[in-house]
Every structure is written in structure tokens, then in C-alpha cells.
Amino acid sequence: MTIRALVFDVFGTLVDWRSGVAREAARLLAPVAPDLDAGAFADAWRARYNPSMETVRSGARPYVDLDTLQAESLPGVLAQFGIAGVSEAVQGELVQAWHRLDAWPEVPDALRRLREKHLLAPNSNGHVRLMADLARRNGLIFDAILGAGYSRDYKPKPALYRDAVAAFGFAAGETMMVAAHSNDLAAAAGHGLATAHIARPHEHGPAGGETAPTVPVTHAARDLADLADRLGC
């Protein structure tokens, strides 16, 4: 089946969240924590990401966006690193770190190539403004922003995959989920989407990242440029 639309995981797949959050944390926390292991700080914050989303996925609370969840997680991360005295204003700036992430180097050009033949949208757990800010920062052009903001829930809940297919209106098999995470692709495949795995061996810094999918996928690509090659773009 011809692929007509590509929907993307963003954190880890299109942008390098760890380096960006570490850079901003080092800068913003320098006055109170000059010896901070900023990479470990980013990892610790990210580790709270899934449990925080689970409060929405489970139905325990109504949908709130990722900025809200990150803001709620932050005091625990600061306490974990023994950091006190961070003003609310600085905490707000730290949450904005997630809006100031850089794309992996090949992404802007590869997305331009993919856009020539396909409709493109993020299908991320990030909301509209977060996706718009990351797109603007990195010169990425999408046809729409789908994902958590559009579906008012978090991956891997079924709504995210079903809504992504329905929004563009192609068959599920004509819609490809692109992600660096096998669990995301397994969920997408369960709803009939085609899938592409992108290797991101440095997503978690020293802790690595997925170099290959652990589930069956339509394409396993070295990076987004490799996927563009495979799709004939």
C-alpha cells in the first residue's frame, strides 16, 4: 500500500530532548547548583514523564498538557538533586526548556524531502504550542499538529492512533507512524498503521537508545534521511 501520510513521534525521534534539557538546566540552575550533572537531571525529569501521563491515561484526571505535567514533576526532580531555592519564575523557564530542543541533525532536510510526497504531522505527547515552538525553532513544516492536544489523551492510548488516521482520512495502512520507540510502533501497528523505526542510539546519552526495533515494523531506518530514501523521496 502506498504511504500517503507520515505521523511522527517527536521527543527522541525528531528532537534530542536530553541535550536540550541538560543545556537549559545547566544554564538556569547554575546559580543554585553549579556542579549539577545536567544530563542526569534531564534523565531524572524524563523518568517522571510516563508516570505523570499515566494519571491522564488511566482516567484519574482530565487531560492536562505536557507543560502542566512537567511543571508538576519538576519540584520532585529538584528535591532529588538536593536543589532548593528555585523561584517559580525559574521553574517556569525550566519547563520552557522542552520548547527549546534541537532537531537531530538530518531531520530538517529529511522532513523537507518527505513532505514532497506525503502529508506530515507530529503525533506526539506534546501539545499544539509545544510542537509549534519546536517546529519553528528547527524550521520544520508540518501539515497539521495531531497527538495529545488533538486527542486529549496520551500515547499509547488508542485515540492517538485512530485520530491520527482519521484526521488525514487515508486508510490506516496508508498512514505511517514514525518513531524511535518500539512500544509506540507496536501500538500503532495494532491499529493498522504502517510503521517506521528510526534508530536513535544516543537518545539517552550514555544509557544509549534503541538501535533497532524490538517489534516487527514496515521499515527499520538508520535515521530520517534513510527513511526518505526508502520511501523514494
Determine the size of the site formed for its own copies (CB under 8 A): 19
* The residue to which cell 529529511 is assigned: 110
Length of the chain: 233
Residue number with CB closer to its own copies (90 or 128)? 128
Binding-site member from 30, 54, 75, 136 for its own copies (CB under 8 A)? 136
Binding segment toward its own copies, per CB under 8 A, in 127-135, 176-184, 212-220, 225-233? 127-135
* The residue to which cell 520544520 is assigned: 140
What residues from 144 to 173 belong to the interface with its own copies (CB under 8 A)? 144-146, 149-150, 167-169
What residues from 54 to 83 belong to the interface with its own copies (CB under 8 A)? 67
Cell of 16: 534530542
Q: Which of 2, 7, 231 is nearest to 119 (CA)?
A: 7
CA within 13 Å, CB half, 219? 21
Residues in Cβ contact with 168 at an 8 Å cutoff, skipping those fewer than 6 apart: 4, 5, 119, 121, 143, 144, 175
Site map (CB under 8 A) of its own copies, residues 19-48, x = contact: ------------------------------
Interface with its own copies (CB under 8 A) = 67, 119, 127-129, 131-132, 135-136, 141, 143-146, 149-150, 167-169
